[in-house]
Chain A
Amino acid sequence: MRLLIIEDDRDAADYLAKAFREVGHVADLAADGEEGLAHALDGQYDVLIVDRMLPKLDGLAVIGTLRSKGIETPALILSALGQVDDRVKGLRAGGDDYLPKPYSFSELLARTEALARRRGSREETVYRVGDLELDRLSHQVTRAGDEIVLQPREFRLLEYLMKHAGQVVTRTMLLENVWDYHFDPQTNVIDVHISRLRSKIDKGFTQALLHTVRGAGYMIRDSK
């Protein structure tokens, strides 16, 4: 994955670049909005990571300019402003995801990879992982041919996990995308939903598909 990180804080930028490179991605840096815009216009990046407060040209303006030129590279906005209104503003400016500071790198990584994947995929109607099948139109879920009955919320949860099959999905991502909540639930509310789902789709099968990624979140993956 080719990433462009537009961040004026030297330390933060270096940290991010190093962390991404360790996981095997390519990361370019830009220290201000103008430089970032220039890079984004030239290079072919999979995801842009844009700090909101930048010298010369602020993050939202950079994204806005790219969008007005028809460049649809997914952009993830990092910002110290974490209120819902700020988030809405960021997304309206053309951003695709919004992560308030301070964030954990695993959260950032999970979301970045999710954005990169989104760019490539077409909208499929049936998701498949191993012998698990989810039909988005009929809302039917089967594993090894047998139907599994899920509650509507459980279905949406599974759908999201399968949409990002093979990628880490964090609890915050689930809360935002499956429940449309932007607050901190304090306790491990999501974990319980996951374990309920797990008991429905993994129980009785030799191969577990729904995995817990320690320190990050969950992933649905064919272990073969």
Chain B
Amino acid sequence: MTALGKLLRTTAFKLTLVYLTVFALFAAFLLVYFAWNTRRLITEQITQTVDAEITGLAEQYRQGGIRRLVFVVDARSRRPGSSLYLVTTRAGEGLAGNVGSLSTGILETSGWTETAYRRLDDPDGPEHHALVRVFRLSAGFRLLVGRDLEERERLHDIVIAAGRWSLAVVIVLGVAGGFFVTRRVLKRVDAMTETTRQIMDGDLTGRLPVAGTGDELDRLATNLNAMLERIEALMHGLKEVSDNIAHDLKTPLTRLRNRCEEALRLAEDESQYRSALESTIEESEALIRTFNALLMIARAESGQARDGMTEFDAAEIARGVGELYEPLADEKGIHLKVEAPAAAPVHGNRELVSQALANLVDNAIKYGAAGDPPLNGAAAEILVTAAGEGDRILLAVADSGRGIPAADRGRAVERFVRLEQSRSLPGSGLGLSLASAVARLHGGELKLEDNHPGLKTVISLPRSGSAPPTA
């Protein structure tokens, strides 16, 4: 599309044309109205003047007969001006006046008539127009009085000329104005289009230009920029997630492969092959679990899980998870207790929250007391609670173990981080990462606190009925 074509198709230009047409029509209407009224006024003036003259002349005729009338008309005819007079016999012979020739049949008319005429003293000159009235006198004489319409015609010409000129000016100014205004708008839109093209080509950091005028284009640009920020953040998150997953799975996959290669190289009898295969299956199952956990984390982080949000009772979840893990804790000499007396309605993803809480309890059992005698001589304890606090519900797991030193707490939440103390224990290192992602999905966060002694992990969730998170 040519530049001109683009310009002509813009809304701005079309609007300009519409306004132009409306304005022109309005101006034309005004002009016509004014002209028509003025014409009427002039005509009225003429008729009044002529009427007065006729009345006067008729009086003269009555008083002095035709002689008198001729005398007066003659005198008046010599006066310069646009008044016309003519006195004729019944046969049409002129007796006095300043009219030379008339349109045919005028003398037979009555009432007001417009006629072409020539002046008596200028018989070869141009024809003029006049508004005349013919008066029949007694004995068949005719008296014609009229006035030249030159004024009115001049007005007519002026109006026509004015109309033509103003139309021309309006069109030129309108089109030119529309052109420039549109070009300015088009420039801004083109700048935006260019930016979006850059963005689509891959430069997610691009933002639309905001002119600072606060008009609708600016508002659009501002909103689109906000959207682009969000997209950039999501893309970044996605890249991070897929980078992490790729990286995190390569290690166990490589380990698996190496195991198999080693078996091929070294195994000699069936039992060795068998055990190699069995451990391969075990490894791949661990890998699958890790993969599923990573997927779950990715799901929680990408906001995909928002569709699966329902209303459920966090206290019920706490009780269920507690009950599931209680025997395991007991076996390790840990007393697991659940304190969730009141209902804790939550709006969230039930599956993810259950998994997150299970991870926290699992961690507490694994690291909360493993291998350490309790510090104050009492039995090791794990406390699972679900309680409301303002518009949030807090799900917490508190143990009485070694805890995590404050310096390490940030790192502990990252994927696959196994802190020094726990390197030797089984586990994938994803438990806290998932819990953290789940907390963030619900507009909260995972907090790691000192339980004096031990660690307290807290997930904060929105209480059902309060506004949804905008994370």
Contact = CB atoms under 8 A, between A and B. Distances in A.
Interface of A: 82-85, 102, 104, 153, 179, 181-189, 192-193, 196
B299 A186 contact: no
B358 A185 contact: yes
17 contacts: A83-B299, A84-B350, A84-B351, A85-B308, A153-B323, A181-B354, A181-B358, A183-B358, A184-B292, A184-B355, A185-B324, A186-B358, A186-B359, A186-B428, A186-B431, A187-B362, A189-B324
Contacts of A184: 289, 292-293, 355
A185 B308 CA distance: 21
B327 interface: yes
Given A84-B351, A181-B354, A186-B431, 12 more contacts: A82-B292, A153-B323, A179-B320, A179-B324, A181-B320, A184-B289, A185-B325, A186-B362, A186-B427, A192-B330, A192-B331, A193-B327
B310 to A, nearest CB: 10
A186 B427 CA distance: 8
Nearest to B431: A186
B121 interface: no
B191 interface: no
B328 A187 contact: yes
A136 to B, nearest CB: 21
Contacts of B323: 153
A189 B307 contact: no
Nearest to B295: A82
Contacts of B150: none
B292 A192 contact: no
Contacts of A183: 351, 354-355, 358
B324 A196 contact: no
Q: Which applies to chain B's interface (DSSP): helix, strand, loop or mixed?
A: helix
Nearest to A82: B292
A184 B320 CA distance: 14
B240 interface: no
B351 A192 contact: no
A210 to B, nearest CB: 15
A104 B280 CA distance: 13
Contacts of B308: 83-85
A36 B350 CA distance: 35
Given A84-B308, A186-B427, A187-B362, A192 B355 contact: no
With a 10 A CB-CB cut-off, give which of A82, A179, A183, A189 has the most chain B CB atoms. Answer: A183
B354 A189 contact: no
B285 interface: yes
Interface string B268-296: 00000000000001000100110011000
B240 to A, nearest CB: 21
A84 B299 CA distance: 12
Contacts of B355: 183-184
A153 B285 CA distance: 28
Contact of B328 (A85, A102, A182, A189): A189
A130 B359 CA distance: 39
Contacts of A84: 308, 350-351
A55 B323 CA distance: 44
A192 B324 CA distance: 10
